[in-house]
Chains A and B, each alone.
Chain A
Amino acid sequence: MTQVSMTVNGKTVSGEVEGRILLSDYLREDLRLTGTHIGCDTSQCGACVVHVDGKAVKACTMFAAEAEGAEVTTIEGMANPDGSLNTIQQAFQDHHGLQCGFCTPGMVMSAAALLEENAKPTEAEIRDYLEGNICRCTGYHNIVKAIMAASGQDVSAIAGE
């Protein structure tokens, strides 16, 4: 067992973990932050994307012990301080960018990382960036549209209700 300590959504947490425990499992099972989802076992689906020291990371690609001392943000830490949806979350709701909601936390975390890097991404840049996030429900149309809207772009010409 290894002792780990990290900051998750602004709070310091610590505990003992087996060396083989992934960050995704630590967040879900030990911290009960179940918004980080596990949709595959090969680090392809992106449902578990979180931010580690400001960078988007698939939480299944690192051990919990590797996050020692890190600043981790999960979907539970993304809303505005007053609890309201942040700009990206609100855009997903406004533009119906989610259906079953399972890939959604990873999509929002990836979108936030993208907009941090690139404030006004083109459609092609968004689609390219989301290569590591799989959604089976939306056909991506409204996800891409929501991210464009969240970055302040006019999406009224893009088809859809």
Chain B
Amino acid sequence: MPKDHGIGASPMRREDVRFLTGRGKYTDDIALQGQAHAVFARSQVANGVITSIDTSEAEKMPGVLAVFTGEDFVDVGGNPAGWQINSRDGEPMKEPKRPVLAHGKVRHVGDAYAAVIAETEEQARDAAEAIVAEIDEQPAVVDMGAALKEGAPLVHDEIGTNQCFDWGWIEDNRAATDEAIKNAPHVTTLELVNNRLVPNAMEPRASTADYDPGTGDYTLYTTSQNPHLTRLLISAFVLGIPENKLKVVAPDVGGGFGSKIYHYGEEALVLAAAKKIGRPVRWTASRSESFLTDAHGRDHVTKIELACEKDGTFIAFRTETMANVGAYLSNFSTATPTFLHGTLMAGNYAVPNVYVNVKAVFTNTAPVDAYRGAGRPEATYSLERVIDMAARELGIDPLDIRRRNFVQPDQFPFTSAAGLEYDTGNYGALVDKLEEMIDRKGFEARRKASEKNGKLRGLGVNTYIEACGIAPSNLVGVLGSRVGLYDAATVRVNATGNIAVMVGAHSHGQGHETAFPQVVAGMLGIDENSVEIVHGDTSKIPFGMGTYGSRSLAVCGSAVVRATEKVINKGKKIAAHMLEASEADIEFADGQFSVAGTDKFVGFGDVALKAYIPHDFPLEEVEPGLEETAFYDPANFTYPAGAYACEVEVDPDTGKVTIDRFAAADDFGNVINPMIVSGQVHGGLAQGIGQALLEHTTYDADGQLISASYMDYAMPRADDVPFYSVDHSCQTPCTHNPLGVKGCGEAGAIGSPPSVVNAVIDALQSGGHSNVTHIDMPLTPSRVWSAMNS
């Protein structure tokens, strides 16, 4: 019988009602009295020197209140990278300034160089078009290989190179890995492209700023996954507004997937504009602006080598990657291809040698940063494609070669050759479950049936491991992070017994408003409906780092547990006073404080009321009130893992790939709300399938973004994907957080691309196309057909 409440149950989401009735409150839905509108003038060339900007005509246009250019922000700071990477030679990465508005030069199509504030959006748009900018177009660099060549046009002249860093991981393992590969009986080499994607949260970015001249207080409503991080960046690095004078509110946010982690220049502009004109200023991106200016994802060009014994035992993985960071360093852009990628390059395997080299490259394209999975999809794709290729070369079953190399259950905690300490896992159990879910035994019969219909059927499998619950501050500090990555929660028990929980995590689809109360109510033995979650407003919540890296439950949920424990401990003091007993004798269970060994007890609600009516409190022993805050900093990453399988049919006449079935067996440790967890996996799978078959961000040689609308960028639609089979019953709970949870938000996107590609290659091989060993994503009909007919 499934539980209907508490940890492990799937109560219906309480936030759904407002979303289903049109009463959600997203940033663009907020209308402030007297608000004006901002529209940006954006570069139409990828690389150019700004020789002049004439705003005089624009300023005279109807309704125009102010016009800004880069000149207005030369004296303020830049938007920084949050992580310092050092190159192999010890040199720190190149870190050019990222201004609020471009000044001197524009560096990608869409780079904003001016902004107009007007009474209406239409007036602002008309006036933005009247700005006359003389921009001397320069040759652009788009291709990473070309950008690294001697004499290539420079994205940032002042750093004298397009290489941001040249990073090795683990540098001390380089020689041993090279040696192992040189002496190996078998080496499989694969060159691949991890295609550039646009995150495409359905709600475009939007920011509305307000300034109170009476108090000097600013308020910024913005589409953020982490309002405190945004406030910190604006306060400490960009505009210098003191944190106590800036409130950042991220209300309902329509998806993020990484793209709304970062601080963007538009947020700073509307704040400055609101102060200047003394009225609220609102800006909402069009979808075209989103394509041009949201941080993109992936974009690696990689060579990976797998050295192994003839029996398939892995000896070494060696990876060389070029990672595009675009025109400016976005906040997590330097961590994504390094510590979220290189450290995962041992996969689920007890391989002795791993070495990764990553060169990060500036190009005249939009900034590239974390997108759902962030580095881990790139690692998984490289590993699981080259393993599949090796299995085929060696004539070994693709699951058997993986089983042979798995870290075994009795080896945990296990320090991988890429330096992470995996706490728990049972990868063999996941693969066993997967075979059952996909009905592997029935595959040959299905393949024959497809052949009869003139179709080629293939089965692709892969495993994955990720590092989530980002992140232990002491570890990431050593690795170059400039921030701590703890989270925080305040549990406020009101006098009448209901509870507000203020959390640093932010929900933009993840269901925190439903799942977090399951944890608190479960611990306190009370009704979930009496627990309310407050998030997204820096004036209400404690300083937390927000939601990304599958961290909400593992990190912020742990803070919620710790704060709730403190509430229980405080309640024991109050109960001891009420029951005239010693605090040491008070026990708490099922919503009641009782004196051990007696039938004396008081209910949680009575204790809450007493906390706020302390007429007879021993005030020297216990303070009034019942409210506790905890900050939680994890001891380690968490390590979700999974085994995925995809079965496809390929039409040999057209190259069209159809996914017949997809199975995902994941180990997320303990599961708080299975319904939400499955939903998270479903969404990730569609994004991974989208990457594998549909989505591709294309710049032409001049740096024009060719795929800048939904007519050109193929988002997965309902008829591109099947019903998925997902399972999270294989559970090895995390050993170092109080809930034993691992994080589920990114798994689907990390785990699914290789199995789709492996399935297509399997289908083509079975159809006699033995020369087709790899096709780069997305596997469009054109690419598949061309590979078959090459």
Contact = CB atoms under 8 A, between A and B. Distances in A.
Contacts of A42: 287, 709-711
A104 B26 contact: no
Contacts of B253: 100
A89 B29 CA distance: 21
Given A41-B288, A89-B20, A96-B675, A102 B717 contact: no
B201 interface: yes
B679 A136 contact: no
A103 B254 CA distance: 8
Interface in A123-161: 123-124, 126-128, 130-131, 133-145, 158-161
Given A32-B31, A141-B724, A102 B711 contact: no
Given A98-B20, A105-B22, A127-B718, A161 B723 contact: no
Contact of A35 (B13, B23, B255): B23
Given A93-B17, A133-B718, A140-B718, A99 B679 contact: yes
A44 interface: yes
Interface in A106-133: 108, 123-124, 126-128, 130-131, 133
B202 A141 contact: no
Contacts of A102: 24, 26, 201-203, 254-255
A140 B286 contact: no
A127 B507 CA distance: 28
Interface stretch (A51-59, A62-70, A74-82): A74-82
Interface string B629-653: 0000000000000000000000000
A51 to B, nearest CB: 13
Of the four ranges (under 10, 10 to 19, 20 to 34, 35 or more), the interface on chain B belongs to 35 or more
Nearest to A85: B20
Contacts of A98: 16, 19-20
B676 interface: yes
Contacts of B10: 161
B22 A136 contact: no
Contacts of B675: 96, 160-161
A63 B25 CA distance: 25
A34 to B, nearest CB: 4
A21 B719 CA distance: 33
Given A108-B20, A127-B718, A136 B255 contact: yes
Contacts of A103: 202, 254
Contact of B724 (A20, A92, A159): A159
Interface in B747-790: 748
A140 B686 contact: yes
Interface stretch (B146-154, B440-448, B508-516): B508-516
A108 B19 CA distance: 11
B605 interface: no
Interface in B664-679: 674-679
Given A130-B718, A136-B715, A104 B710 contact: no
Given A45-B710, A93-B20, A161-B10, A136 B257 contact: yes
Contacts of A139: 682-687, 716, 721, 724, 748
A40 interface: yes
A94 interface: yes
Contacts of A142: 679, 682
Nearest to A92: B20
A39 B257 CA distance: 16
A47 interface: yes
Nearest to B717: A131
A148 B392 CA distance: 41
A159 B439 CA distance: 14
Contact of A45 (B252, B257, B287, B686): B287
B725 interface: yes
A4 interface: no
A97 B252 CA distance: 17
A76 B721 CA distance: 30
Contacts of A41: 286-288, 709
Interface string B15-51: 1111111111110110100000000000000000000
A85 B684 CA distance: 28
Contact of A134 (B17, B202, B204, B252): B202
B479 interface: no
A87 B252 CA distance: 24
Contact of A137 (B22, B255, B724): B255
B361 to A, nearest CB: 28
Contacts of A18: 122
A99 B509 contact: yes
A78 B676 CA distance: 25
Contacts of B716: 139-140
Contacts of B200: 136
A160 B725 CA distance: 7
B726 interface: yes
Of the four ranges (under 10, 10 to 19, 20 to 34, 35 or more), the interface on chain A belongs to 35 or more
B12 interface: yes
Given A100-B254, A159-B724, A79 B684 contact: no
A34 B12 CA distance: 24
A141 B663 CA distance: 13
Contacts of B685: 139
Contacts of A93: 12-13, 16-17, 20
A123 B723 CA distance: 9
B710 A127 contact: no
B255 A44 contact: no
Contacts of B15: 101
B786 to A, nearest CB: 26
A22 B33 CA distance: 23
A92 B21 CA distance: 11
A150 B31 CA distance: 35
Contact of A100 (B21, B204, B288, B508): B508
Interface string A27-39: 0110011111111
A85 to B, nearest CB: 6
Contacts of A160: 675, 678, 682, 726
B287 A144 contact: no
A159 B717 contact: no
A76 B18 CA distance: 10
Interface in B284-300: 286-288
Given A44-B709, A161-B674, A96 B287 contact: no
A33 B23 CA distance: 9
B719 A104 contact: no
Contacts of B710: 40, 42, 44-45, 134
B718 A143 contact: yes
Given A89-B21, A96-B676, A127 B510 contact: no
A85 B686 contact: no
B16 A92 contact: yes
Given A42-B287, A42-B709, A36 B22 contact: yes
A29 B718 CA distance: 30
Given A34-B22, A133-B718, 7 more contacts: A76-B21, A100-B202, A100-B509, A131-B718, A136-B200, A141-B724, A142-B682
19 contacts: A38-B204, A89-B20, A98-B19, A100-B255, A101-B15, A103-B202, A105-B19, A108-B20, A128-B719, A131-B719, A136-B683, A139-B685, A139-B721, A140-B686, A140-B721, A141-B723, A160-B678, A160-B682, A161-B675
Going nearest first, the 8 A-B pairs with the smallest beta carbon separation are A35-B22, A101-B19, A102-B254, A139-B686, A100-B509, A44-B710, A99-B509, A139-B682
